A = this chain, B = another copy of it.
Amino acid sequence: MIDRRGFLGGTALSAVAASLVGRSEAATLPEAASREGAATEPPLSPPSGRPYNPVVTLNGWTLPWRMRQGWKEFHLVAEPVVREVAPGMKANLWGYNGQSPGPTIECVEGDRVRIFVTNRLPEHTTVHWHGQPLPNGMDGVGGLTQPQIPPGKTFVYEFQVRRSGTFMYHPHADEMVQMAMGMMGFFVVHPRDPAVARVDRDFVFLIGAYDIAPGARVPKVATMTDFNLWTWNSRVFPGIAPLPVRRGDRVRIRMGNLSMTNHPIHLHGYEFVVTGTDGGWVPPSARWPEVTVDVPVGAMRTIEFVAEEPGDWAFHCHKSHHTMNAMGHDVPNLIGVDHRGVARSIARLVPDYMVMGERGMADMGAMEMPLPDNTLPMMTGAGPFGALEMGGMFTVVKVRDGLARDDYRDPGWYRHPKGTVAYEWTGPLPGRS
A223-B329, A261-B319 known; 8 other A-B pairs, CB under 8 Å? Answer: A23-B423, A123-B363, A138-B421, A142-B387, A181-B335, A218-B346, A225-B226, A296-B318
Residues of B within 8 A of A268 (CB): 128, 139, 141
Q: Smallest Cβ distance from A153 to chain B, in angstroms?
A: 6
Interface residue SS majority, chain A: loop
Closest to A221 in B: B334
Interface check A40, CB cutoff 8 A: no
The 0/1 profile, CB within 8 Å of B marked 1, for residues 370-394 of chain A is: 0001100001011111111110000
Interface check A32, CB cutoff 8 A: yes
In whole angstroms, what is the CA distance A331 to B143 when docked? 27
Interface check A320, CB cutoff 8 A: yes
Residues of B within 8 A of A145 (CB): 311-312, 385, 416, 421-422
Number of chain A residues close to chain B: CB under 8 A: 178
List CB contacts (< 8 Å) of A134-157 with chain B.
Answer: 134-149, 153-157
In whole angstroms, what is the CA distance A157 to B369 when docked? 33
Residues of B within 8 A of A121 (CB): 359-360
Task: Knowing A309-B136, A312-B144, say if A19 contacts B333 (CB, 8 Å).
Answer: no
- Judge whether B143 and A385 touch: CB under 8 Å: yes
Interface check A260, CB cutoff 8 A: yes
Residues of B within 8 A of A138 (CB): 420-422
Closest to A123 in B: B360
Interface check A195, CB cutoff 8 A: no
Closest to A287 in B: B286
Interface check A8, CB cutoff 8 A: no
Q: Copy number in this complex?
A: 3
Which of A181, A279, A350 has most B Cβ within 10 Å? Answer: A279
Q: Smallest Cβ distance from A247 to chain B, in angstroms?
A: 12
- Judge whether A92 and B342 touch: CB under 8 Å: yes
Binds B, one of A45-53, A196-204, A270-278: A270-278
Task: Knowing A226-B224, A388-B143, A422-B146, say if A311 contacts B156 (CB, 8 Å).
Answer: no
Which of A23, A163, A294, A358 has most B Cβ within 10 Å? Answer: A294
Binds B, one of A171-179, A186-194, A401-409: A171-179
In whole angstroms, what is the CA distance A296 to B322 when docked? 14
Residues of B within 8 A of A29 (CB): 425, 427-430
The 0/1 profile, CB within 8 Å of B marked 1, for residues 235-262 of chain A is: 0000000000000000000000000111
